[in-house]
Amino acid sequence: MDYAQVQKPTLILNQARCQANINRMAAKARANRVRFRPHFKTHQSAGVGEWFRAAGVDAITVSSVDMATYFAGHGWKDITLAFSLNWRQMADIDVLAQRVRLGLLFESLESAAFASERLSHPVDGWIKVDVGAHRTGIPVENTAEVIALAGALDRSGIIHLKGLLTHAGHTYHAAGRAAIAAIYRDSVEHLKTLAGRLAQAGYPGVELSVGDTPACSLVEDFLGVDEIRPGNFVFYDAMQWQIGSCREEDIALAVACPVVARHAGRREVVLYGGAIHLSKELMMMDDHPSYGLAAYPTLDGWSHFLSGAYVSSLSQEHGLVKVSQADFEQIHVGDLLMVIPVHSCLAVDCLATYLTLSGQQIDSLKSR
């Protein structure tokens, strides 16, 4: 890697690690005989998407109509829009449904009726179920509400009732394989029970779709589900490493940030790399907030994390990194530090364009 070309905060992508992550998850899905529908909101890149295609992936998940349109334009024909239906984009959604096999999420009778009246092209309908993350979706215990919505979708004539879909986002607040696996098992058992109630009500054969990276990374047996939709696993990040869903050597993305100042009294290094490059996502480390981990640039990417170093605060353009005295003496103004973001999805959304270790530039949806 020739870091001389890096002049400002830049996404650095380790292609070999990224492709290894893709191939490992694809192999796990094949071994479990489940559909692998990765979430492309993490990388948002047609170029990275081709590495998935090479691994045999032909169905994807996205989080916005714009993203669905972008990937449809790059040849993807089976797309689930895993975000609650936005009524104001219904016309664009109908255009997409003409171009691709489109899956839509529903969590209310109102949205089912609205879509049924305005769609002129068929779609797959997934009922969004909340299994404990408490972000969105019908609570899994609200059986009557789910059955009523299934009936509305089934009667619509244009929405094919596909199944139950969830994202167990509360795995991100767990730590370690056992805790994450327990959440996964509990979520799937609840979904299976709900599917059984739907079958009794006259809606048999609904599929089950799950999607969080921690569970998909650590659980080996996907018995009982039909589809997995992880996204963050393609790069991983500091948070995934902290909770135990990846190894340090699985992390495929870092942000190269120029060093612009040093403060010896505080052992702080000032980076050109702030909230608009890394986001303000944080994690707690030893009772202090961290906005990222630090490493040195190397010819083959970046070093192991610097012991005890962390991004202690961010403003719009600035990042402050606390380092040990030994590391402080090695870091100079004009150098680069590599920041492992807390959340790779948000860093990608901020910076948009990747630079691989071979010097190749890879664009994304946000690069346009």
Q: Which of 304, 289, 294 is nearest to 259 (CA)?
A: 294
Two tokens, residue 338: 């590599």
Answer for the pair 319, 337: CB distance below 8 angstroms, yes or no. no
User: What per-residue string of b and e applies to 206-217 under the rule 16 or more CB within 10 Å gives b?
Assistant: bbbbbbbbbbbb
Looking at CATH, the fold of the domain delimited by 3-10+247-367 is given as Lyase, Ornithine Decarboxylase; Chain A, domain 1 (2.40.37)
Q: How far apart are alpha carbons 268 and 263 in whole angstroms?
A: 5
Confirm whether 3-10+247-367 and 77-230 share one CATH topology.
no
Two tokens, residue 218: 């650590």
Q: Which residues are bridge partners to 78 per DSSP?
A: 101
SS3 4: helix
List the alpha helices (DSSP H) in the chain: 15-32, 46-54, 65-72, 90-99, 109-118, 143-155, 177-200, 213-218, 238-243, 275-278, 325-330, 344-351
SS3 170: helix
For residue 328, the model assigns a pLDDT of 98
Helix (H) or strand (E) holding 290: strand 288-290
pLDDT digits (tens, 9 = 90+) for 42-55: 999 999 999 999 99
Report field, pTM of the whole predicted structure over 0.85: yes
DSSP letter for 87, please.
G
* Span 77-230 CATH architecture: Alpha-Beta Barrel (3.20)
Structural domain spans, the chain: 3-10+247-367, 77-230
For residue 6, the model assigns a pLDDT of 97
- 110 Cβ neighbours under 8 A, 6+ residues apart: none
- For the chain, the first-to-last Cα distance in angstroms comes to 25
DSSP letter for 367, please.
G
For residue 43, the model assigns a pLDDT of 98
Helix axes 109-118, 90-99, angle to 10 degrees: 60
Helix (H) or strand (E) holding 61: strand 60-62
For tokens 């619509």, what's the residue? 156
For residue 169, the model assigns a pLDDT of 87
For tokens 């047996």, what's the residue? 221
Q: How far apart are alpha carbons 341 and 347 in whole angstroms?
A: 7
Q: Percent of the chain at pLDDT above 90? A: 95
Residues of the chain with pLDDT under 50: none
pLDDT digits (tens, 9 = 90+) for 169-220: 898 888 889 999 999 999 999 999 999 999 999 999 999 999 899 999 999 9
Q: Which of 108, 239, 356, 48 is nearest to 116 (CA)?
A: 108
